[in-house]
Each structure stands twice: as structure tokens, then as C-alpha cells.
């Protein structure tokens, strides 16, 4: 067993309940907030976030320190902080695990983020499947209010901040920033193409900071222990912090683990997930949800961080690792993923709305043994068209298809030449 | 008809926010809970409360997975058909459910108890294959566990 690695977000995780406010405070919770509000130094929080190189944990990996600085000093009020708890990327369940463990860490992170941009109102946008987490958050927000950690004059300072929980009606695209802002305003959540960016004109046309649950939860720790400490948590020099990885599929023990960025994929599977299920052979995985490309057995020892995955043309995404074994048909897997994107496309722009059903048709024909050799070039061309769509949904959706053609071309050709799925014979 | 108490309660909530339409999904959910689904009558009433046109509100209502514009059963079963549940024999589970309830995906049982709907990844991949029954998760499921669950729900409603 490797490690143990330092824990930050899930250090006090319990099997069946949250960390209460009293327990959270006993472990040093809300100390960062107290210090910051007493010192009245919002600029220091922003500087620490930038120094810590905290990259967004919701999938896009945008630097949180830069995002917070794009809210101009002279930007109009009111300003908003939105916590994106609309965790809908297939394979991803880290925020669910976290919210059932440390709701106050998120609340503290939100207040710190809000203080850094002088926002007075916060909203947690949560998917309807996480009703139990929504209820926990509402209850703990109420408790935080009664203890003076939210509301007017927090810790006796001049700073006031409130949080509401907004339940989504349930749709994948609501995780996209501009779509989420539309959803919050009671508008059909089609994405909008920036500029303006949300930090300039977001909710109700006002400056709005939108961050993922895990990103916000890192903030109290960075403020408490410093940017260098945070950077040193990662195993690779260019990465910073820990990551909540959620591993599922063909492993013995699926689950969510907080591990240092830069940890090897093989170590995650073997040491934290009990190895491959039933002694099967690792064939490949998606490293960060349905919107990332396939890794193969050649990548088995890859360092799991933003840079290392970028170097192989892939992305860390949400850190949702979905594992496949040697019995898995990668064409079939890609069909399932493409069905998801075809169904969840908001339908606003043509390449996305029309492209996914077209790709799905070709992939299904290949799987059924009705594929032809020129399907590959047709698929590649259509994938390139989908890159021209309105938001990041379609480029994410074709990541698996494009990597199927590159990394598993032999398997696709075996379907076409053998006129059927080699795994179903 | 919408009870006055519910109407007043919703009106008060709407009055407390700066922009009434930000409450759209909450109001839809409340009316859906009351009527069992988001009926045309509910649509008119919700639009009225929110100061929106029925068309504006229907643009929202028809977009979301958990808003039902047609009648549904007492128990709405959403079966996850995304990658991990599918890999863990999710298709067999759906076939078993359809067989057991004698309906196809998208249909409601004749006794009005169960509606079967597909849903994309519900975020319980560590408990695959998983389903939601009225938004509460169940998993990992075997056909036996599923049979027990259906039996329990049937019993609970008699």
C-alpha cells in the first residue's frame, strides 16, 4: 500500500454522517474565515488563490485565482457567488461524497470566495438527484446562520453574506456556466457564448463567480496553510493540491478517494480500488468523465494531473476514472457515451443537435456489423464539425469518439472487417 | 384547483425574491407535487403566480428531466442507463423491470402505481446498477433486490 497521503477535504470523513459544525470548528474550521474577516484583507485571499495555482475541479481546470481576479475592483454591486453542485458528468460522484461529509467546508469556502469579491449573495445550484445533499446543506446553512457564520456582520465584521440552495429541474447542460446562469434566472438553460463572461455580467447582469464544490472547498485550506503548502500536496512539480478521484467500472472496489494530483493511474487502481475486478486485464479508462478521451494500457502508469494528461492529448476533467477490462467492447462503450450526448444536447445549435445522432448511427452500424471502412473518415469529419458548436458540450462529447478512432482503431476495424462485434461471438 | 393555502405560501415565497421567475422551478415542483404531475392546469396557475406567460414557463417545463408534463404513477422509477450502470448489467435490469411491471420504458402501469423512465448518470456509479424511485436512490441492485423493492412499494400503497 502506498501513501498514506495527506488528506485535506476528506480527512474527517465518516461512514454514515456529516462532520457537524462543532466537529468542524474543533478541527480548525472557520478559523481561516475568522482571520480573513478580522484582517479585512480581501486582496490577500485573491493573491493566495493565484499563488496556489488552484485549477477548477469541476472539469474545465480554469485557474480559480485568475477567475476571482477578473471581477473588477470597480465592478457594480450586487455581486454573486454560485457554487456549481450540478455534478452531472457521467462517472462523477465526488461532490456527492464530499457534500455528505463536509458541508461546512463548502460554506466556509463560499464565504471566503464571496469576501474576496465582496459578494453579498450566494447560491448553491444542485442537481435534483442529490436531494439528500440539498437538505443537508439547507439545514447546515441554517445552523451557520444561527452561529453568526452567515448572515449580517459575520464574526462581528462589516461583511454580510447569505446562501440559498437552488434545486435544478435536472439536465446535464445546466452544469455549463452560462446555461446555469440562465437556469437560475428561470430561463431555458441554453448556453450563451461569452463575452460577456459571468464574472463581468452573470446572474441578473451582475458580476458572478461560478465555482465547483471541490474548488471552493479547497479555499479555507489554502488560506489557512498557504499556497506553497497546497502546491506541495501534489506529487508532480507542476501540479498543486489533492484531487477527489471517483473510480468506477471494472475494479474490485469502486469509490471516491482524495489523492495527490500526479499520483499514478496504476497506483489508484491497484492500491485504492483493490485492482481489476475478478483478475481481469486493464484495457483502458476514461480519466475524467464522459467528456474526456480514452486512455489505453500504454497509459497505465500515467501521472493523474492536468499537465500529464494534456501532454497525451487528454484532460483530467472531473477526475472520474471509469475503468474497462479486456472483455469490454470499446465501440459499445462509445455508443453508450454518444447516446448520452445525443439525448442531453440542449438542441440550441445545429452541429450538436444533428451531429450526435449522425455519429450514433454510424457507431451503431459498426457495432452491428454493417460498418464500412470509409465510416472512419466520415466520423472524423463530423467530429471536426462538432468542434464548431456553440459551447464546450459537443467538443467534450466527441472526445471519446475521436480517441476511439485513434487509440482503438484496430478494434473498430475488427468490427468492420469481421462484420460484427468480436466480443459478442 | 390549487388550495388557497398552497397558493398563498408560494405567493409569499415569490414576493420575497427580487425576480419572481427565479422561483420557476420551485413553483413547478410544488404544483407537480400537488397534482402528481405538471398538468396544463398547473402550468396556467404557475405562470400566473410567476408573472410569466404559459409559453415561457412551458419552455422550461419541457426542458427538464424531473418535470413531468404527462401523468405519471405514484412511484416514478428513473433507471440510470449511462456508462457504469449499463456496464453493470443495467440493460438486464430494465428488461426485468419491464417484464415484472408489464410496461415498456416510458409507460405507466394500469393501476397507476409505477412509471418507468430512463435517466442519464445519477452520480451513484459506486453503487451501480442504480435507480431512483421518487428521487431516492437504490443500488447496487440485483433482480432479486429489485423484486423485493417493487413488492415493498406495492404493499406500502395498499
Provide the residue ranges of all domains of chain B, joining segments of one domain with +.
4-61, 75-156
Contact pairs from chain A to chain B, CB under 8 Å: 124
* 8 A C-beta contact, residue A195 and residue A206: no
Which helix H or strand E contains B152, and what residues bound it? helix B143-156
Is B21 an 8 Å CB contact of chain A? Answer: yes
pLDDT at residue A40 in the model: 78
Query: Smallest CA–CA separation between A286 and chain B, in Å?
Result: 11
What is the DSSP secondary structure assignment for residue A10, as one 8-state letter?
S
Nearest CA in chain B to A185: B22
What is the DSSP secondary structure assignment for residue A327, as one 8-state letter?
T
Interchain proximity B64–A171, CB inside 8 Å: yes
A21-231 and A234-325 in the same fold: no
Beta bridge partners of A249: A323
Burial (CB < 10 A; 0-12, 13-18, 19+), residue A147, is middle
Residue B64: list chain A partners with CB under 8 A. 168-171
Nearest CA in chain B to A343: B120
Interchain proximity A96–B124, CB inside 8 Å: yes
Three-state SS at A330 = helix
* 8 A C-beta contact, residue B134 and residue B84: no
Is A205 an 8 Å CB contact of chain B? Answer: no
> Judging by DSSP bridges, how do beta strands A121-126 and A162-167 pair with one another?
parallel
d(CA B8, CA B3): 9
Q: What are the pLDDT digits (tens) for A69-99?
A: 999 999 999 999 999 999 999 999 999 999 9
User: What are the residue ranges spanned by the domains of chain A?
Assistant: 21-231, 234-325, 330-424
d(CA A140, CA A18): 10
In this structure, which topology does domain B75-156 adopt according to CATH? Glutaredoxin (3.40.30)
What is the DSSP secondary structure assignment for residue A293, as one 8-state letter?
P
What is the DSSP secondary structure assignment for residue B94, as one 8-state letter?
H
Q: What are the pLDDT digits (tens) for A12-53?
A: 999 999 999 999 999 999 999 999 999 878 899 999 999 999
Top residue of B56, B105, B117, B120 to mutate, by most chain A CBs within 10 Å, is B120
* 8 A C-beta contact, residue A137 and residue A143: no
Instruction: Name residues of chain A where pLDDT drops below 50.
Output: 1
> Judging by DSSP bridges, how do beta strands B75-80 and A255-260 pair with one another?
unpaired
Domain A330-424: state its class: mainly alpha
pLDDT at residue A2 in the model: 62
d(CA A154, CA A40): 12
d(CA A215, CA A109): 8
In this structure, which topology does domain A234-325 adopt according to CATH? Ubiquitin-like (UB roll) (3.10.20)
**Mean pLDDT, rounded, of chain A:** 96
Nearest CA in chain B to A132: B136
pLDDT at residue A279 in the model: 87
CA atoms within 13 A on the CB side of A252: 13
d(CA A378, CA A123): 44
Residue ranges with strand state E in A65-106? 80-85
User: What HEC string does A126-173 produce?
Assistant: ECHHHHHHHHHHHHHHHHHHHCCCCECCHHHCCCCEEEEEEECCCCHH
pLDDT at residue A425 in the model: 66
Residue ranges with strand state E in A273-425? 282-286, 295-296, 320-325
pTM: 0.96
Query: Rounded to 10 degrees, what is the CA torsion of A228, A229, A231, A236?
Result: 120
Angle subtended at Cα A91 by Cα A286 and Cα A336, rounded to the nearest 5 degrees: 75
Residue A169: list chain B partners with CB under 8 A. 25, 28-29, 60, 63-67
Torsion region of B64: left, alpha or beta (phi above 0 gives left; psi -120 to 50 gives alpha) = beta
Top residue of B83, B90, B94 to mutate, by most chain A CBs within 10 Å, is B83
* 8 A C-beta contact, residue B109 and residue B101: yes
The predicted complex's ipTM stands at 0.96
Q: What are the angstrom distances between the C-alpha of B53 and each of A86, B33, B70?
A: 27, 21, 20
CATH superfamily membership of A21-231: NADH-ubiquinone oxidoreductase 51kDa subunit (3.40.50.11540)
Query: Smallest CA–CA separation between B126 and chain A, in Å?
Result: 5
Is B23 an 8 Å CB contact of chain A? Answer: yes
* 8 A C-beta contact, residue A215 and residue A98: no
Is B81 an 8 Å CB contact of chain A? Answer: yes
Interchain proximity A185–B124, CB inside 8 Å: no
Is A184 an 8 Å CB contact of chain B? Answer: yes
Question: Residues near B43 by Cβ (< 8 Å), separated by ≥ 6?
Answer: B54, B57, B58, B61, B69
Residue A168: list chain B partners with CB under 8 A. 25, 64
Question: Residues near B117 by Cβ (< 8 Å), separated by ≥ 6?
Answer: B76, B77, B78, B79, B105, B106
Three-state SS at A322 = strand
Burial (CB < 10 A; 0-12, 13-18, 19+), residue A155, is middle
Q: What are the pLDDT digits (tens) for A349-369?
A: 999 999 999 999 999 999 999
Amino acid at each position: 500500500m502506498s501513501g498514506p497521503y495527506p488528506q485535506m477535504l476528506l480527512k474527517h470523513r465518516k461512514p454514515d454522517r456529516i462532520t457537524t459544525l462543532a466537529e468542524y470548528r474543533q478541527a480548525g474550521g472557520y478559523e481561516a474565515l475568522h482571520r480573513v474577516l478580522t484582517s479585512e484583507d480581501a486582496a490577500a485571499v485573491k493573491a493566495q488563490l493565484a499563488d496556489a495555482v488552484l485549477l477548477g475541479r469541476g472539469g474545465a481546470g480554469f485557474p480559480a485565482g485568475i477567475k476571482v481576479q477578473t471581477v473588477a475592483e470597480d465592478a457594480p454591486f450586487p455581486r454573486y457567488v454560485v457554487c456549481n453542485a450540478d455534478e452531472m458528468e457521467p462517472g462523477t460522484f465526488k461532490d456527492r461524497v464530499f457534500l455528505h461529509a463536509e458541508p461546512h467546508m463548502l460554506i466556509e469556502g463560499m464565504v471566503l470566495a464571496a469576501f474576496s469579491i465582496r459578494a453579498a449573495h450566494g447560491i448553491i445550484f444542485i442537481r435534483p438527484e442529490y436531494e439528500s445533499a440539498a437538505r443537508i446543506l439547507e439545514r447546515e446553512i441554517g445552523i451557520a446562520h444561527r452561529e453568526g457564520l452567515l448572515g449580517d456582520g459575520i464574526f462581528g465584521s462589516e461583511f454580510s453574506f447569505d446562501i440559498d440552495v437552488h434545486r435544478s429541474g435536472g439536465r446535464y447542460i445546466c452544469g455549463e456556466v452560462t446555461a446555469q446562469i440562465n437556469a437560475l434566472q428561470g430561463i431555458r438553460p441554453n448556453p450563451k457564448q461569452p463575452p460577456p463572461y459571468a464574472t463581468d455580467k452573470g446572474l441578473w447582469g451582475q458580476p458572478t463567480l461560478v465555482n465547483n464544490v471541490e474548488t471552493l472547498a479547497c479555499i479555507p485550506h489554502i488560506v489557512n496553510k498557504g499556497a506553497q503548502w497546497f502546491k506541495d500536496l501534489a506529487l508532480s512539480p507542476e501540479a498543486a493540491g489533492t484531487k477527489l478521484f471517483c473510480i468506477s467500472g471494472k475494479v474490485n472496489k469502486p469509490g471516491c478517494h482524495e489523492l495527490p494530483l500526479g499520483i499514478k493511474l496504476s497506483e489508484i487502481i491497484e492500491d485504492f480500488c483493490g485492482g481489476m475486478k475478478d483478475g481481469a486485464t486493464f484495457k483502458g479508462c476514461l480519466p475524467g468523465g464522459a467528456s474526456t478521451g480514452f486512455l489505453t494500457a500504454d497509459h497505465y502508469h500515467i501521472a493523474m494531473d492536468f499537465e500529464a494528461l494534456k501532454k497525451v492529448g487528454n484532460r483530467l476533467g472531473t477526475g472520474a476514472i471509469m475503468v474497462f477490462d479486456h472483455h469490454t467492447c470499446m465501440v459499445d462503450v462509445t455508443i453508450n457515451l454518444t447516446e448520452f450526448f445525443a439525448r442531453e444536447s440542449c438542441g440550441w445549435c445545429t452541429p450538436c443537435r444533428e451531429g450526435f445522432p449522425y455519429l450514433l448511427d454510424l457507431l451503431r452500424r459498426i457495432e452491428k456489423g454493417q460498418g464500412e471502412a470509409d465510416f472512419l473518415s466520415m466520423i472524423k469529419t463530423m467530429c471536426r464539425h462538432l468542434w464548431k458548436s456553440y459551447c464546450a458540450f459537443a467538443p467534450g462529447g466527441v472526445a471519446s469518439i475521436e480517441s476511439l478512432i485513434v487509440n482503438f482503431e484496430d478494434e473498430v476495424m475488427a468490427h468492420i472487417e469481421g462484420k460484427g462485434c468480436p466480443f459478442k461471438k | 384547483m390549487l388550495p388557497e393555502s398552497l397558493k398563498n405560501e408560494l405567493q409569499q415565497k415569490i414576493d420575497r425574491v427580487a425576480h419572481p421567475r427565479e422561483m420557476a422551478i420551485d413553483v413547478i415542483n410544488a404544483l407537480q407535487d400537488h397534482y402528481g404531475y405538471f398538468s396544463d392546469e398547473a402550468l396556467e396557475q404557475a405562470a400566473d403566480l410567476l408573472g410569466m406567460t404559459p409559453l415561457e414557463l412551458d419552455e422550461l417545463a419541457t426542458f427538464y428531466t424531473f418535470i413531468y408534463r404527462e401523468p405519471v404513477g405514484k412511484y416514478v422509477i428513473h433507471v440510470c442507463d449511462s456508462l457504469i450502470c449499463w456496464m453493470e448489467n443495467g440493460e438486464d435490469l430494465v428488461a426485468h423491470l419491464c417484464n415484472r411491471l408489464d410496461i415498456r420504458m416510458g409507460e405507466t402501469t394500469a393501476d397507476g402505481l409505477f412509471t418507468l423512465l430512463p435517466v442519464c448518470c445519477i452520480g451513484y456509479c459506486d453503487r451501480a446498477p442504480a435507480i431512483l424511485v421518487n428521487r431516492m436512490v437504490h443500488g447496487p441492485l440485483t433482480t432479486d433486490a429489485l423484486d423485493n423493492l417493487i413488492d415493498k412499494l406495492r404493499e406500502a400503497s395498499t
